[in-house]
Amino acid sequence: MQTVWITGASSGIGEACARRYAAEGARLVLTSSSAARLEPVAQACRAAGAAGVVVLPYDLSRPEGIPELVRAAWAAFDGLDVMYCNAGISQRTTVEDTSPEMLRKIMEINYFSPVAMAQAVLPLMLERGGGHIAVTTSIAGRFGFPLRSAYSSSKFALYGFFETLQAEYYDRGIRVTLVCPGRVRTNISLYALDKGGKPHGQMDPGQAGGISPERAARRIVKAIRRGRREVLVGAGELVMVWIKRFFPGLCARLARRIRPQ
């Protein structure tokens, strides 16, 4: 029986993965910034067959409390097999309209919080003989994407840290899975930061046409179970990752033509 901790668990990919793990009988620790939105997910997971569910709401933009949050998640079921850092926030602003405050907020939630969580959980996992850390990146972390300067930067940075973590601790039983979504029908565009730091409040057309969170969760949970280093999640848009790898100049030209909402 696995014990799995998921952040960003109140909706989208996080909720779908929680339900997927619940159907497999896992014990779950669920985190998001909203206790009110977490509780219905927890109830659904219990009904789906989870062996146990603990709700730990927390605002991941507050780094000072993350070590204690990790200790609470670990103590909930006396250990964690999987820690999935899925919480994140996006933006819809040009470089000129991206304030230093917005840049820092996005980096705090998307990059510094999973890094702090990994550093706090690592000694516990090592003492136990190993563990699995998964983190949601993005195809925007594989190539620059218009109106995503801070978001893309945070996702690029995740690759550097978590690939290094796995290289250093693989032989000591630590596994890392980088979850790289393209277009998935989640609420991330609704809560993305717009000019002035206000919520964007709109579902992007491309995202509205993306794959379902449930389909994404099937691939993610399977990839973590198999110990995959990286899993690409999406549909046709994922071809841009391969174009960037083999034809970076073409990728740059295509990115310049993107007209995102």
27-31 β-sheet, strand order: 52-55, 27-31, 3-7, 82-85, 131-136, 174-181, 230-233
**What pLDDT is recorded for position 201?**
78
pTM of the model: 0.95
What span, in angstroms and rounded, lies between the C-alpha atoms of 230 and 228?
5
**What pLDDT is recorded for position 187?**
86
**What pLDDT is recorded for position 260?**
62
What span, in angstroms and rounded, lies between the C-alpha atoms of 160 and 186?
26
Please write the tens of the pLDDT for every residue from 94-110. 999 999 999 999 999 99
**What pLDDT is recorded for position 197?**
80
Please write the tens of the pLDDT for every residue from 4-22. 999 999 999 999 999 999 9
Catalytic site residue from 58, 151, 169, 170: 151
Closest CA to 108 of 67, 148, 150: 150
Provide the residue range defining the domain that includes 153: 3-257
- The set of residues, in sequence order, having a beta carbon less than 8 Å from that of 164 and lying 6+ positions away, is none
CATH label of the domain that carries residue 201: 3.40.50.720
Structure tokens belonging to residue 108: 């705090």
Sign for the CA dihedral angle at 14, 20, 23, 28 comes to: negative
| Number of structural domains the chain divides into | 1
Residue 170 designated active-site = no
Please write the tens of the pLDDT for every residue from 150-188. 999 999 999 999 999 999 999 999 999 999 999 999 988
Phi-psi region of 12 (alpha: psi -120 to 50; beta: other; left: phi over 0): left
Structure tokens belonging to residue 260: 């995102």
